[in-house]
Structure formats: C-alpha cells, structure tokens
Amino acid sequence: MAKTEVILTHNIVGLGGESDQVKVAAGYARNFLLPQGLAIPVTGANKRRLEALKQRRAEREAHELNTMTELSKSLSKLICVVAVKTGEDGKMFGTVTPGMIADQLKTQFEVTLDKRKIHLEHPIRTLGEHEVEMRLHPDVVTKLKVRVESTTPVAAPAGPEAAPEGQREAPRTEKRGRRTEAAAGKAEEKPGEKVDRGGERRPRGPRTERPARGEKPAKAEKAS
C-alpha cells in the first residue's frame, strides 16, 4: 500500500497532534485528511507553517492540562452511583464497565468523559463503594468513588411473627397478674369479715332477717 507524508494541522487521536509530520496511506490522506483540512502536504511552503502550528499545539495542550487538573479536583469529591440488577443472594449479574461509569457521570453530574480515561484494575463484581482510577491526562491521574447499588427490592418480613417474642407475650402476662391478685384477695377473706379494695379487713354488721313474702311486720303495741 502506497504511503504519503503529511503535516497534521489538528490533533487526531491515535495519529498525532498539530505540527506532527506523519506517514499515512495515500488514499486516507487524499480522501479524508486533505479534504477535511486536517493535514497539508509536505512542501517547502507548508514547512514554514510549522512554527505557527507548534504554537497553537502548545496552547491547546496547556488548556487541556488546566482543564483536566480542575476536573480531577471535582471528581475526587464526587460519588458516582451505578445501579445494577442482583439476585436474591445479592450477587450481581455481570460487572460494572467503564462505559457504565461514563454514562452515569454524564447523567448525574453532566461530565462528559471518554470511557478510555476510566481505568479498572479489576472488574467490579460486588456491591458497595469502590475507588476507580481516572487517567485524565498523561500528567493528571485521580480517583473516583463509585457506589454500586442493587435495583432488586428486598422483601421485608410481615405479620405478627415479625414482632419480638417479648412484645407479644407482655399483655397476657399483665392480665394473668391481675387475675392472680384478685383470686388471692378472695382467698384471704374470712367469714364475718369483708376485705375492701385497699386490702383492709372490716367486720361485717349484724345480719337482718327479712320477713317472708306475704307477711306484714307486726305493729308495735300502743302504750297504755
């Protein structure tokens, strides 16, 4: 495949930055780079533009460094929440990927970040908090806290069985205690005595005989 040499006028990921002189496929240069203004042919006149391109590149890289430095300070204070599905035993289905983290940064904090800048040393397979390395720039590396939560609801126990044992038995014990006290009070009562509510004994008064039905009480004789 024929190659040709061009001077890049813009930063192209995976190829180079402004002022870089690179070799690419002739068809790629002819059909894409040159028509889009992303590169210029290597000629004596174009070589004189290198200083201007180098200056613009230095300014761009300085701006990127400042931007990524400020972003790293913000990311280190954030907690990115990623919701996943789990089974009844709490185990995740699959793993958390850099793409999922990048999507949540965009949704929760409006931070647009290339997922290739999110570096996972080990796949995230468990719930909880994890620290993820963020390689924002060759000179800027920071940590982001990622909290993995489950979207599977946990069924809570319901019904009287869920109540503690002591709470269910307390009312019955109290009623039994009252009945026992009442029975004890009646047992201590003796003939001829009456026990009031306070527990004090009082002698009963003389019992008055009632007249039988149909009989009228005799009238007292008049004094002569």
**What tens digit of pLDDT does each residue of 4-34 get?**
999 999 999 889 998 999 999 999 999 999 9
Counting the structural domains of the chain, the total is: 2
Shared domain for 33 and 95, answered yes or no, is no
Plot region of 90 (φ>0 → left; ψ -120 to 50 → alpha; else → beta): left
**Same domain, yes or no, for 47 and 93?**
no
Show which of 129, 150, 171 is a domain's final residue: 150
CATH code of the domain covering residue 16: 3.40.5.10
* Extended beta strands in 47-197, E state: 79-84, 118-119, 128-137, 140-150, 193-195
Q: Quick check: is 180 in a domain? A: no
58 and 79 in one domain?
no
Q: Is the pLDDT of residue 196 over 90?
A: no
132 within some domain? yes
Out of 49, 69, 89, pick the residue that ends a domain: 69
Same domain, yes or no: 38 and 103: no
Beta strands 140-150 and 79-84, pairing class: parallel
- Regarding whether 130 and 81 lie in a shared domain, the answer is yes
Q: Is residue 111 domain-shared with residue 80, that is, in the same domain? A: yes
In the prediction, which pLDDT does 62 show?
A: 95
Q: Determine the pLDDT at residue 145.
A: 96
37: containing domain? 3-69
Residue 219 — pLDDT band, cuts 50, 70, 90?
low
- Give the number of other Cβ atoms within 10 Å of residue 96's Cβ: 20
Q: What is the mean pLDDT of residues 148-171?
A: 61
Strand ordering across the sheet containing 21-25: 21-25, 3-8, 39-41
179 lies in a domain?
A: no
Cβ contact 203:191 at 8 Å: no
Last residue of a domain, one of 53, 69, 85: 69
Spatial distance between the Cα atoms of 53 and 10, rounded to a whole number of angstroms? 9
Same domain? For 78 and 145 the reply is yes
How confident is the model over 133-157, as pLDDT tens digits? 999 999 999 999 999 999 887 655 5
* pLDDT confidence bin for 159, thresholds 50/70/90: low
Mean pLDDT confidence for 201-218: 56
Q: Is residue 112 part of a domain?
A: yes
- Whether 131 and 105 share a structural domain: yes
How large is the average pLDDT for residues 98-123?
Answer: 94
Same domain membership, residue 57 and residue 15: yes
Query: Mean pLDDT over residues 178-191, rounded?
Result: 52
pLDDT digits (tens, 9 = 90+) for 43-57: 888 888 888 899 999
For the record, the structure tokens of 206 come out as 């003389």
**Mean of the per-residue pLDDT values for the chain?**
80
Q: What is the CATH number of the domain that holds 116?
A: 3.10.430.100
Q: What is the model's pTM?
A: 0.59
Is 214 among the domain residues?
no
Q: What is the pLDDT of residue 223?
A: 46
Q: Flag whether 20 is in a domain.
A: yes
Answer yes or no: do 87 and 144 share one domain: yes
Q: Is residue 33 part of a domain?
A: yes
- Residue 170 domain flag: no
DSSP 61: H
